[in-house]
Amino acid sequence: MTTTLLSWNVNGLRAVHRKGEFPAILSAASPDILCMQETKSQPDQLTKAVLEVEGYEAHFASAERKGYSGVAVYTKASPKGVSTTFGPDNRWDNEGRVLRLDYGEFELYNVYFPNGRASKERLAYKMDFYDAFLEHIESERRGGKNIVVCGDVNTAHHEIDLARPKENQKTSGFLPEERAWMDKLMGSGYVDTFRKFVPDENGHYSYWDTMTRARDRNVGWRIDYFFVNEELMDRVSNAFILSDVMGSDHCPVGLELSVDL
Q: Rounded to an integer, what distance in angstroms lies between the CA atom of residue 36 and that of residue 233? A: 23
CB proximity list for 24: less than 8 A, separation 6 or greater: none
Question: What sign has the CA pseudo-torsion 224, 89, 108, 101?
Answer: negative
Q: Rounded to an integer, what distance in angstroms lies between the CA atom of residue 258 and that of residue 252? A: 20
Q: Rounded to an integer, what distance in angstroms lies between the CA atom of residue 35 and that of residue 61? A: 11
Q: Is the pLDDT of residue 88 over 90?
A: no
Q: What is the pLDDT of residues 150-202, one digit of tens each?
A: 999 999 999 999 999 999 999 999 999 999 999 999 999 999 999 999 999 99
Q: Is the pLDDT of residue 1 over 90?
A: no
Round the average pLDDT of the chain to a whole number and report it. 96
- Where on the phi/psi map is residue 80: left (φ > 0), alpha (ψ -120 to 50), or beta? alpha
Q: Rounded to an integer, what distance in angstroms lies between the CA atom of residue 114 and that of residue 126? A: 5
The whole-number pLDDT of residue 89 equals 75
Q: Is the pLDDT of residue 92 over 90?
A: no
For residue 29, the SS3 value is helix
Q: What is the pLDDT of residues 11-30, one digit of tens each?
A: 999 999 999 999 899 989 99
Q: Rounded to an integer, what distance in angstroms lies between the CA atom of residue 249 and that of residue 92? A: 24
Q: Rounded to an integer, what distance in angstroms lies between the CA atom of residue 224 and that of residue 207? A: 8
Catalytic residues, by residue number, are: 152
Q: Is beta strand 224-229 parallel, antiparallel or unpaired with respect to 190-192? A: antiparallel
Q: Rounded to an integer, what distance in angstroms lies between the CA atom of residue 23 and that of residue 28? A: 9
The kind and range of the H/E element at 5 are strand 2-9
Three-state SS across 97-150? CEEEEECCCCEEEEEECCCCCCCHHHHHHHHHHHHHHHHHHHHHHHCCCCEEEE
Q: Is the pLDDT of residue 63 over 90?
A: yes
Cα distances (Å, whole numbers) of residue 67 to 5, 123, 223, 243: 26, 21, 22, 26
The whole-number pLDDT of residue 210 equals 94
